[in-house]
Structure 1
Amino acid sequence: MKNLVALGALLSVVTAIPAQAQEVTLRLSHWVPPTIAPASRGINPWAESVQEASDGRIAIQIFPAQQMGKAPDHYDMAAQGIVDIAYVNPGYTAGRFPIFSLTEIPFMTDDSVGAAKAIHTWYSENGGLEEMSDVKLCFVHPHAPGALHSKVAITSPEDIAGKNIRPAHATMARFVSLLGGGPVQVPAPEAREALSKGTAEAVTFPWGAMYDFNLTEEVPVHLDMPFYLSSQVMVMNKNSYDRLSDENKAVIDEHCSPEWSGKVAQGWADADMEARDQLMADGQTFNTPTEEEVAAWREAAMPLIDEWKETVTARGGDADSILDAYKAALEANDAAY
């Protein structure tokens, strides 16, 4: 019991405020290690700001690294009230959020901060509130556009054929298959083992993951282009929100906005770019594609858009309108690739 109490104290992000000021404690669950950029430069600062803005009325207790449940379960954990707030990767549950999956299609954005704000606004206005109707959307949290990291040079779509690649999410897995490769779908912490055993020959990962998961020796060759995006979302249980006082609801509302999506994305983007610079300093191999190669990659991804349209249309959505709105939102935030 003493150990559990100590653990709870360690995991709590609590500002120095009088104990009597606290009105509510919200349990926030996520699935990344507590020391890496998504948590240290995104989730934690957001939680700290909520507590500060509420003058300590709201305390947030953070449970990292899947302590409360597996990563793919986090949406349901929030929807069912197992936790009050949860960090969700919609791409971990293929087919469940078809509108949101548009954000996973490669070569659409080259800036994650602008994209975070764009996705938050676009998704809220184009069916996202219905698609995630079980929860309250707080913020969108993409990493800087990720890259393709491999054992040998891969510079064109044709180079994927015959190679086994660990994809970031279901859409990237489909892309690998379309190009004749074999997707090796293992959780991020297991990627290094897959590479060391030869099960996989390449990965799609954000730059910071090269150090977070000790992959620098396994895949030292990098395709230096904004290859794809993986956007997590922070969501809140609706009953947990409804139970708050109007004053506390206002604090949460202020922190559940496109502006805050941009703020949390900035910290992660900065960390990813620092990691990219470090990889260069460490003498890793960077291949910059030619204009013709970029065009070939983008052309190769077009079937993914067609498939996305078919899925959204089959579920009653106006796919063309939603796609146009997404492109316009990216343009408006200087984030279109």
Structure 2
Amino acid sequence: MKSRTLIGLLAAALLPLPAAAQEVVLKVSHFLPPSSLAQTQFMQPWCDKIEAESRGRMKCQIYPSMQLGGTPPQLLNQVRDGVADIVWTLPGYTPGRFPVSEVFELPFFTTTAEASSRALWDFSQAHAAKEFAGTKPIAIWVNGPNVLHLRSKQVKTLDELNGLKVRAPSRLGNKMLAALGATPVGMPVPQMAESLSKGVIEGALVPWEVVPATKTQELTRYHAEFKGPKAMTVATMVFLMNAKKYESLPDDLKKVIDDNSGAETSAWVATQFIKADVIGREATVANNNTIYAIEGAELARWEAATRPVVQGWIEELSATGVDGKAMHDAAAALVARYSKN
């Protein structure tokens, strides 16, 4: 009898612990260095929060700088395929895969990052859910307004932009630059610094937030901000979890993820990026660079020049069988609604 009891105890010891007792380590991947404000101001605090709320049973292992392999445009596939459990990436790095939700990247479309991010979450849930198949969206947001960072030439008028090679964050950003007379050059942020240093490009459209991580303040001298009620351009961003990984969690850990996902989380992430914008701008001021504004009548010229991009997007989407005008108007209505709050 004793020997049977001992065998039973040994067999029980070899059984796996119940799922609720196991520690879950989530692999979180992104494309910037660990010192980037995106990691320190957003991803690490989010990871700390889910660890605290799960009482240490769910943690993150962050892999910056594409340490899990591949290139930034491959992050979306990596989270869908389970190479990473969670990724931060830009839909603009995979043109054509987010044809509906990219409406928020149209020129002069968004207002504040927080209001526009709430609008983007609601819009994506209602109209673009299939674009996120295979993933569980944790947050979907827009970054701060893009600034035109220039190596050696100030651009104060639309005419002075003509022909300049400028990096854009997305497909629609490229179309916008072309409409403005520039020569658009599409590339992920990690390639931007080298391209600026070698003179492959003469300028770049990025928010202030990425400046410290990419040393943009050292590679450029002039910085044009666009001072109007709407951002000239922004990039949509996503923080996505592998759907199967989420479904594998016990219910109480799913709840922790759910409690840290959605419209409120998207708005919170957007505010962290705006705080990071302040830090990036301050670094540029400290480097004694020249920051100036394009506003008033001159800004109106830029906006007028980009209107064909908006109409072109509506027509492109409509050609796929989706009512482009209806999608544009629905997104614009949500931006307007949240901007009033």
Query: Counterpart of 2:136?
Result: 136
Query: Counterpart of 1:320?
Result: 325
- Residue 234 of structure 1 is aligned with which of 228, 236, 239? 239
Provide the secondary structure at the position in 2 that maps to 1:34.
Answer: coil
- The structure with the greater share of residues assigned to helix is 2
Alignment of 1:250-289 (within 5 A): 250-289=255-294
Read off the aligned partner of 1:97 and give its amino acid letter: F
TM-score (norm 1): 0.87
Alignment of 1:209-228 (within 5 A): 209-225=210-226, 226-228=231-233
Read off the aligned partner of 2:113 and give its amino acid letter: S
**1:183-221 CA distances to partner (integer Å, 9 max, x unpaired)?**
233432332332233221111011133332222243221
Query: Counterpart of 2:163?
Result: 162
Q: Structure 2, unaligned stretches of length 5 or more?
A: 1-19
The answer to whether the Cα contact below 8 Å between 1:107 and 1:227 also exists between their aligned partners in 2 is yes
User: In structure 2, how many angstroms separate the alpha carbons of the residues matched to 1:165 and 1:137?
Assistant: 31
The answer to whether residue 122 in structure 2 is matched with residue 117 in structure 1 is no
- Residue 290 of structure 1 is aligned with which of 295, 306, 317? 295
User: In structure 2, how many angstroms separate the alpha carbons of the residues matched to 1:137 and 1:335?
Assistant: 26
Query: Counterpart of 2:17?
Result: none
- Residue 243 of structure 1 is aligned with which of 248, 259, 263? 248
Give the 3 Å change call, closer, same or farther, for CA 110–149 of structure 1 in structure 2. farther
Query: Counterpart of 1:177?
Result: 178
Query: Counterpart of 1:193?
Result: 194
**1:70-92 CA distances to partner (integer Å, 9 max, x unpaired)?**
21111111112222212221000
Count of matched residue positions in the alignment of Structure 1 and Structure 2: 316
User: In structure 1, how many angstroms separate the alpha carbons of the residues matched to 2:163 and 2:278?
Assistant: 31
Read off the aligned partner of 2:124 and give its amino acid letter: Y
TM-score (norm 2): 0.86
Identity of aligned residues (%): 29
The alpha-carbon deviation at position 288 of structure 1 amounts to: 1.8
**1:9-43 CA distances to partner (integer Å, 9 max, x unpaired)?**
xxxxxxxxxxx954322222111111111111111
The answer to whether the Cα contact below 8 Å between 1:21 and 1:55 also exists between their aligned partners in 2 is no
Give the 3 Å change call, closer, same or farther, for CA 137–335 of structure 1 in structure 2. farther
Read off the aligned partner of 1:237 and give its amino acid letter: N
The answer to whether the Cα contact below 8 Å between 2:36 and 2:210 also exists between their aligned partners in 1 is no
Read off the aligned partner of 2:53 and give its amino acid letter: A
The answer to whether the Cα contact below 8 Å between 2:180 and 2:306 also exists between their aligned partners in 1 is no
Spell out structure 1 runs of 4+ moving beyond 3 A.
20-23, 280-283
The alpha-carbon deviation at position 106 of structure 1 amounts to: 2.3
Give the 3 Å change call, closer, same or farther, for CA 217–61 of structure 1 in structure 2. closer
Q: Structure 1, unaligned stretches of length 5 or more?
A: 1-19
The answer to whether the Cα contact below 8 Å between 1:143 and 1:272 also exists between their aligned partners in 2 is no
The alpha-carbon deviation at position 148 of structure 1 amounts to: 0.8
Query: Counterpart of 1:38?
Result: 38
Which has the greater radius of gyration?
Answer: 2
Read off the aligned partner of 2:237 and give its amino acid letter: Q
Alignment of 1:296-307 (within 5 A): 296-307=301-312
The answer to whether the Cα contact below 8 Å between 2:120 and 2:141 also exists between their aligned partners in 1 is no
